[in-house]
Amino acid sequence: MNKLFKKLLITATAILSVICYSTSVFAAGFDVNNDNTVNVNDVTFLQNEISNFNDNTDYDLNNDGRVDVNDISTLQIEISKNDIETIEKNTKLSVTRNEYKQCVGDTVTFSITTNNAISDFTYSSSDSSVAKIVSTDSNTVKVKVNKVGFATVTAKQCSQSVSVRFSVEKAKCIDLSEWNGSIDFNKVKKSGVTCVILRAGYGKDPNQEDNEFQKYYKQAKAAGLNVGAYWYSYATSVDAAKAEVKNCMKTIQDKEFDLPVFLDVEEYRQAVLPRRTLTDIISTFCDGVKGYGFDVGMYSAKSMLVDSAYPDELASKYLIWMAAPNNSYNELTPFVDIHQYSWNGKVDGISEKVDMNYIYNLNC
The pLDDT averaged over each successive group of 10 residues in the chain (364 residues) is 42 42 49 72 74 76 78 68 56 90 98 80 96 93 98 90 96 97 97 98 95 98 98 98 98 96 98 98 98 97 96 98 97 97 97 96 94
Domain boundaries, the chain: 3-90, 93-169, 171-359
Instruction: Look at residue 188 in the predicted model and tell me its pLDDT.
Output: 98
| Residue (of 301, 238, 292, 218) closest to 261 by Cα position | 292
Architecture of domain 93-169: Sandwich (2.60)
Q: What pLDDT shows up at residue 58?
A: 73
3-state SS assignment for residue 121: coil
Chain mean position to CA 263: 24
pLDDT value of position 70: 81
Cα 50 to Cα 30, 36, 44, 47: the distances in Å are 15, 21, 10, 5
Q: The domain 171-359 belongs to what CATH superfamily?
A: Glycosidases (3.20.20.80)
Q: How far is CA 286 from CA 7, 237, 306, in A?
A: 56, 14, 18
Q: Can you tell me the distance from the alpha carbon of 216 to that of 197, in angstroms, rounded to the nearest whole number?
A: 10
Strand partners, 174: 196, 356
pLDDT in the model for residue 87: 52
Q: How many residues does the chain have?
A: 364
Distance CA 81, CA 76 (A): 9
**Amino acid (one-letter) located at 229:** A
What is the reported pLDDT for 72?
Answer: 67
Nearest to 144 by CA among 153, 132, 126: 132
Q: Helix 3-18 to helix 40-51 angle, to the nearest 10 degrees?
A: 160
Q: How high is the pLDDT of residue 205?
A: 92
Q: Are 265 and 282 in contact (CB under 8 A)?
A: yes
Q: Dihedral angle at the C-alpha atoms of 5, 9, 14, 20, nearest 10 degrees?
A: 120
